[in-house]
Amino acid sequence: MLGLLRRDRRWKPEKRPAPVNPARQARLKFRALQGIIILGFLVLAVQLWKLQVVMGDYYRTLADNNRLRLVPVPAPRGVIYDARGNLLVRNIPSFSVAVMPADLPRDRQPEVVRRLARILNMPAAEISQKIDERRRQDPFSPVAIKDNVDQKTAFIVEENHESLPGVQVQVRAIRQYLEGPLMAHILGFIGRIDAEEYAELRPQGYHLNDQLGKQGIEASYERALRGRPGREEVVVDASGRKVEVLQREDPVPGNNLVLSIDLELQRVVYQALKATMGRSDHAAAVVVNPKTGEILAMVAIPDYDNNLFSTGIGTREWEQLLEDPRRPLVNAAIGGAWAPGSTFKLVTGAAGLQEGIVTAGTVIYSPGYIRIQNEVNPAVPFIFRDWAALGALNFRRALAMSSNVYFGCVAGGCPDQRVRGLGIDRLAEYAHRFGFGEKAGIDLPGEVEGTVPSNDWYRRVRGEPAYLGDVYNAGIGQGEVTVTPLQLAMATAAVANGGKLLKPQLVREIKDAEGRTVWRLEPVVRREVGVRPEYLELIRAGMRDGVTSGIVTVVNIPGVAVAGKTGTAEWGPINARRYHGWFTGFAPYDDPEIVVTVFHELSQGGSFTAAPAARQIFEFYFGRKRG
């Protein structure tokens, strides 16, 4: 460098002697340079020919793959009405922020996630994790980062789309359940499809971001409510934003449901149950039409607010619901089974009559207890108590007064009164005929079967057949027998309607979006119970007597003839003096329109808590009818 600077003072190029033959040499070199330039552009031209002309179509396809996308257009989910046309659930718009991993360049992800975390006010790590997970699964399917963001946030994200590549604001419909807890057990809720469901339902056109019914009617009528999603072929830009719609296949909206539930009645049942359940952990009530099997009201407590699931339930709320020992997500009317107590005498009585164990005129004397030979140790007699010394009773009176001795004898036999007894297996067979020990088949998920013990059952569970004491207990709905409130309601309906065991149904009608009926409820007879009509007539008469002059007089209301049976079943540790309270009955007596079944887990007795609740229900129903 210094050398250069020093020589600079002699810098006079124009006076330098010309080098030896420089022009010719230089000319040659320039020719060579020309050659190199031509060669260079020739190489480039050949490469371009290859890319553009030879492989042009291939790259054209790649360019189209970049910009053209098939996007599913979700179908509006069907809505649900009650029997009188009240809307129970509707769709309302909600904004959610999602990221399509394919549109978010990996090197920009940290920066975009930071920005998004600030806008959405959530941890960046959580956002990154969601994006990374979806990137592995299916980078072309957007993953929801946050649901139910407010309109302002949605607007901010939309405004900044240039600096948020791959981030989309999606408008989606969420479910608004207008009655919340009142209808939660029936309607259920919807939620995001999980991995297992997706694997199963993918062939039916479900997408990774779809919602589907998880509980209740939403789950059992998923197919009807969902409709068929449409598709759009759209042009997107590099950040995944829709620029133009090329083709659209419109979605088919889901069908609407009309329930058999009567919202007004449901509300009354709910209030009656809450008012009478005391300190019970669980309570349930079912009102059913004994002619059709339609459920007019069904309430189970504890309950929950299904709107929580629409607005994106928080982890804490969700854990609270799951960890609550009372299990509020379980519909106690179908998902819990308890000893039915004396309400089970309907079954014992029907079996006794049909099997000729007793007749209408068979009189059994109840001194307040009976003494039974102990099979294991004949020296120690087994004492089976009645609730009072009821004296001499015929069948009808025994039912009206709910004599334990009478129905204990029917089940287990009383040799000193010349009654032979059904035995546990025949009792179990009739219980099955009335629908106990099996799911009633209601159109809701989560039903349980309850327990109807038989000799086989005892052998399986205990290793030996039933003792005589078990048989007496089973005859009056104590011991190992358990039933769901819904099962008892359907059995009562069978008594009321002359022997048809119906399938309980919640949906009266399915209509398409234009209002055309596509399906209408038909009563489904599960079976004839196989008890002669005059015997059922006798049982109904006994139930009616119970209301007019027996132990259920609390439901003896003016203007309508109610027939009913209460039940009080001991439970928990021996001598804890804890009781379940039951009522099951129907009205009007001569042409039954409704069956009402009420259950309280903790009660001083069915007559004291369950029957008064039933009274409010009957009063409302028939009071409204009279206008």
Partner 1 sequence: MDLRLLRRFDPWLLAAAVGLLAYGLVMIWSAAASGNTPDDPLESPVARQLLFGLAGLGLFFLACFVDYRLFGHLAETFYAVTIALLALVLLVGDATYGARRWINFGPVPVQPSELAKLTLILTLAKIFTVHQDRIKSFRVFGLSLGAALPFLALVYAQPDLGTDLVLGAVWAGMALMAGVRLRYLLGLGVLGIAAAPLAFRYLLRDYMKERLMVFFNPMLDPLGAGYNVRQSEISVGSGGLLGRGLGQGTQTQLNFLRVQYTDFIFSVIGEELGFVGAMVLFGLFILLLFRGIRAGMLAPDDFGRLVATGIVVQIFVQAFINIGANSRLLPVTGIPLPLISYGGSSLLTTLMSLGLLESIIMRHKRLEFD
Binding residues vs partner 1 (CB under 8 A) = 1, 3-5, 7-8, 10-11, 13-14, 16, 19, 22, 25-27, 29-30, 33-34, 36-38, 40-41, 43-45, 47-49, 51-53, 55-60, 62-64, 66-67, 102, 104-107, 139, 162, 235-239, 243
Q: Considering the complex, what minimum distance in angstroms separates the CB of residue 30 from partner 1?
A: 5
**Cβ 307 to partner 1, closest distance in Å?**
39
Collapsed DSSP state (helix, strand, coil) of residue 333:
helix
β-pairing verdict for 256-259 and 364-366: unpaired
Name the β-bridge partners of 335.
Answer: none
Q: What are phi and psi of 16, to 5 degrees?
A: -70, 145
Closer residue to partner 1 (CB): 37 or 389: 37
The answer to whether the CB of 604 falls within 8 A of the CB of 512 is no
The conformation of residue 255, written as its DSSP 8-state character, comes to P
Beta strand pairing status for 68-73 and 230-236?
antiparallel
By DSSP bridging, strand 256-259 and strand 80-81 are parallel
Task: Find out whether 122 and 187 touch, Cβ atoms under 8 Å.
Answer: no
Q: For residues 87 and 156, which CB has a smaller minimum distance to partner 1 in the complex?
A: 156
Closest to partner 1 by CB, 38 or 322: 38
Closest C-alpha to 69, from 186, 254, 243, 274: 243
Minimum distance of partner 1 from residue 523's CB (angstroms): 60
Name 270's Cβ contacts closer than 8 Å, sequence gap at least 6: 182, 299
Report the catalytic residues: 342
In the complex, the smallest distance separating the C-beta of residue 28 from partner 1, rounded to whole angstroms, is 11
Least Cβ distance, residue 31 to partner 1 (angstroms): 9
In terms of Cβ atoms closer than 10 Å to its own Cβ (0-12, 13-18, 19+), residue 34 is exposed
Tokens standing for residue 325: 């020992």
Of the pair 53, 574, the CB lying nearest partner 1 is at 53
State which residue, 53 or 195, has the beta carbon closest to partner 1: 53
Q: Which is nearer to partner 1, 62 or 125 (CB)?
A: 62
**Cβ 130 to partner 1, closest distance in Å?**
17
Which residues have C-beta within 8 Å of that of residue 386, sequence separation ≥ 6? 366, 368, 369, 370, 403, 404, 405
Query: CB within 8 A of 133, min separation 6: which ones?
Result: 143
